[in-house]
Amino acid sequence: MPQTHPYHAYHRTGVQTADQRKLIIMLYDGVIRFLRKAVIKMDAADIEGAHNYLVRSREILAELLSTLKPEKGGGVGANLRRLYAYVFNRIVEANLHKDPQMVEEVINIMSTLREGWVNMKPSGVRSQAQSPERGKVNLTT
């Protein structure tokens, strides 16, 4: 049986025991981190590296979209779905054109949404999702 690095075991345990709000914030952190790395790769003319980070960002956005329950969040849920779809499309477009300004726009949107989740009272969390499937998106690196 292969040995796993202690950090990975710790991280996996943290994800498996996190509450819903914390998981959503972790997903936002992952998107933002990968988008920033994509910009760095674009600036270094590393097209493949930028592509890989944008794809990873897109996968996290797809996870956020798939776990969203707009019927439970009313107008807020529907607006969040539209915003996630917009961000998803901007990531695809930024990847197609390798445009760091589009990526910066998405970083700003996701950072604003993240702050909203961080500052939200715990009782309002239920409008996002039931429970994102764990292990589906790799948030490391």
Domain boundaries, the chain: 8-120
Strand partners, 129: 68
* 45 Rama class: left (phi>0) / alpha (psi -120 to 50) / beta: left
Q: Which pLDDT score is estimated for 1? A: 46
pLDDT in tens, the chain (141 residues): 455 655 555 445 545 556 889 999 999 999 999 999 999 999 999 999 999 999 999 999 999 999 888 777 778 888 999 999 999 999 999 999 999 999 999 999 999 999 999 998 775 444 454 444 444 555 555
| CATH H-level superfamily of 8-120 | Flagellar protein FliS (1.20.120.340)
- What distance, in Å, lies between the first and last C-alpha atoms of the chain? 23
Please answer whether residues 44 and 28 qualify as being in contact, where contact means their C-beta atoms are separated by less than 8 angstroms: no
Q: Can you say how many angstroms the Cα of residue 119 is from the centroid of all Cα atoms in its chain?
A: 17
